[in-house]
């Protein structure tokens, strides 16, 4: 299954999927006021690619996803923060999956938590105030919650896909 | 869900709580006193929270935020950035609490009053 999905057509499918998720995310009202707090639906596509294809493919998808969704739905500033968050998040997910000791939910939670840490670090570089420290605890918590939700969705999607792809040539 | 997943979630929640308590007890223990407004790391102005004030802050790129200090609280009344996250962050009054506007690189922080050590440390870090 892993090798099958390295084909460009499937990568295109996953990238499109990630863009649709990013769009859906812009439609969701976020009741939380803290900047950087979001569901991170797009990470579902990254998570799936990580499991279905591999680290290199997931990295490429992540990069393209941020650039494309940033220009489509966001701003240049948004891209900057997303990049910082995604870089740390991706490394965390790669490391967590590499150990082989975490399930899909654990890998996704590592991604969620470190995405928020990365974004906060980027924000701290731009607005240098120690008041930003107060954002860290709530952002850690939201990373766990959103990471778990995305991870649960990812696990079920992978389960469904594994049946589907077995039947493809 | 593996056992390690739960352990990771627990560790992250514990870290969040520990950081929150650490901040409450050691980093910003006092009640608020002075409102300081920064662009990047440059201090634009600061004034006591007891003052009633309405300040229009214009960025070099033309961006605008309206800061209001009233009844011992500070909040952003109006901003011309697209997301208006600074306005949605609400009102702040306690030492260490901060409003940020990332597009205009603006931050409004409450710093400890009475010439306290925390205020000194805060200004050191920002210079």
How far does A6 lie from chain B, in Å, by closest CA? 27
Q: Does residue A136 sit at the B interface (CB-CB below 8 Å)?
A: yes
Most distant CA atoms of chain A, gap in Å = 57
Residues B13 and B70 in one domain: no
Closest CA–CA distance from residue B8 to any residue of chain A (Å)? 7
pLDDT of residue A117: 93
Buried (b) or exposed (e) across A89-112, using 16+ Cβ within 10 A? bbebbbebbeeeebbbbbbbbbbb
Residue B118 predicted with pLDDT over 70: no
What's the pLDDT at B104?
86
Residues B54 and B110 occupy one common structural domain: yes
Residue A86: predicted pLDDT: 93
Q: What is the DSSP letter of B1?
A: -
Edge to edge, what strands does the sheet with B64-70 contain? B53-58, B64-70, B73-79
Asked if the ipTM is above 0.85, the reply is: no
Q: Tell which wins on pLDDT, A30 or B115.
A: A30
Q: Give the model's pLDDT for residue A163.
A: 74
Whether A166 and chain B come into contact, CB under 8 Å, resolves to no
Interface test with A, best of B6, B10, B11, B12 (most A CBs within 10 A): B12
For chain A, list residues with pLDDT below 70.
1-6, 30-36, 130, 165-169
Domain residue extents for chain A: 4-166
Do residue B81 and residue B112 come from a single domain? yes
Residue B101: per-residue pLDDT? 87
CATH class of A4-166: mainly alpha
Same domain, B23 and B36: no
- d(CA A100, CA B31) in angstroms, rounded, equals 47
Residue in chain B closest to A113 (alpha carbons) equals B12
Same structural domain, B48 and B102: yes
DSSP letters for A124-138: HHHS--GGGGGGHHH
Chain A residues touching residue B27 (CB < 8 angstroms): 130, 133
Which of A134, A141, A153 should one mutate to test binding to chain B, selecting the residue with the greatest count of B CBs within 10 A? A134
Give the nearest partner residue to A126 out of B9, B17, B105, using CB atoms: B105
pLDDT of residue B126: 38
pLDDT tens for residues B98-113? 898 888 888 998 887 5
Same domain, B64 and B16: no
Closest by Cα among A120, A141, A133, A127 to B23: A133
Q: Could you give the CA distance from residue B33 to residue B43 in angstroms, rounded to a whole number?
A: 16
CA distance A10 to B121: 54
Cβ of A144 within 8 Å of Cβ of B41? The answer is no
The pLDDT assigned to B30 comes to 54
Do the chains contact at B100 and A127, CB–CB below 8 Å?
A: yes
Provide the number of structural domains found in chain B. 2
CA–centroid distance for B42 within its chain: 15
Gap between the terminal Cα atoms of chain B: 47
Average pLDDT over residues B14-22: 90
Q: Which residues contact B47 (CB under 8 A, 6 or more apart)?
A: B34, B35, B53, B69
CA distance B34 to chain A (A): 13
The parent domain of residue B13 ranges over 1-30
Instruction: Give CA separation, A34 vs A18, A88, A100, A105, A151, in Å.
Output: 24, 20, 33, 24, 22
Residues of chain B with pLDDT > 70: what percent?
Answer: 81
Choose among B118, B92, B115, B114: nearest CA to B37.
B92
What is the CB neighbour count within 10 angstroms for residue B82?
A: 11
Residue contact A131–B107, C-beta within 8 A? yes
Confidence check: pLDDT of B19 > 60: yes
Instruction: Indicate the SS3 state at residue B101.
Output: strand
Say whether both B59 and B96 belong to one domain: yes
| Chain B residues closer than 8 Å to A137 by CB | 16-17, 19-20, 23
Do B20 and B50 fall into the same domain?
Answer: no
């Amino acid at each position: 299954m892993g090798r099958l999905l390295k084909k460009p057509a499937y990568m295109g499918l996953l990238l499109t999927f990630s863009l649709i998720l990013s769009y859906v995310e812009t439609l969701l009202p976020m009741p939380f006021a803290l900047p950087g707090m979001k569901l991170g639906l797009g990470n579902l596509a990254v998570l799936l690619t990580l499991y279905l294809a591999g680290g290199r493919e997931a990295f490429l998808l992540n990069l393209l996803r941020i650039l494309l969704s940033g220009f489509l739905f966001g701003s240049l500033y948004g891209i900057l923060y997303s990049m910082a968050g995604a870089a740390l998040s991706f490394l965390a997910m790669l490391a967590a999956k590499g150990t082989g000791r975490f399930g899909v939910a654990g890998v996704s939670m590592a991604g969620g938590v470190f995405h928020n840490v990365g974004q906060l670090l980027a924000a701290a570089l731009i607005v240098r105030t120690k008041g930003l420290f107060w954002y860290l605890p709530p952002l850690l918590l939201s990373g766990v919650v959103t990471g778990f939700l995305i991870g649960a969705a990812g696990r079920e999607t992978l389960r469904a896909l594994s049946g589907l792809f077995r039947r493809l040539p | 869900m593996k056992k390690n997943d739960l352990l990771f979630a627990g560790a992250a929640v514990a870290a969040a709580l520990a950081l929150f308590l650490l901040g409450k007890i050691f980093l910003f223990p006092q009640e608020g006193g002075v409102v300081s407004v920064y662009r990047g790391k440059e201090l634009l102005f600061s004034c006591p929270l007891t003052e009633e004030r309405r300040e229009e802050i214009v960025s070099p790129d033309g961006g605008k935020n309206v800061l209001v200090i009233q009844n011992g609280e500070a909040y952003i009344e109006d901003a011309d950035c697209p997301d208006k996250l600074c306005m949605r962050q609400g009102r702040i009054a306690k030492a260490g609490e901060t409003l940020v506007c990332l597009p205009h690189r603006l931050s409004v922080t409450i710093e400890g009053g009475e010439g306290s050590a925390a205020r000194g440390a805060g200004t050191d870090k920002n210079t």
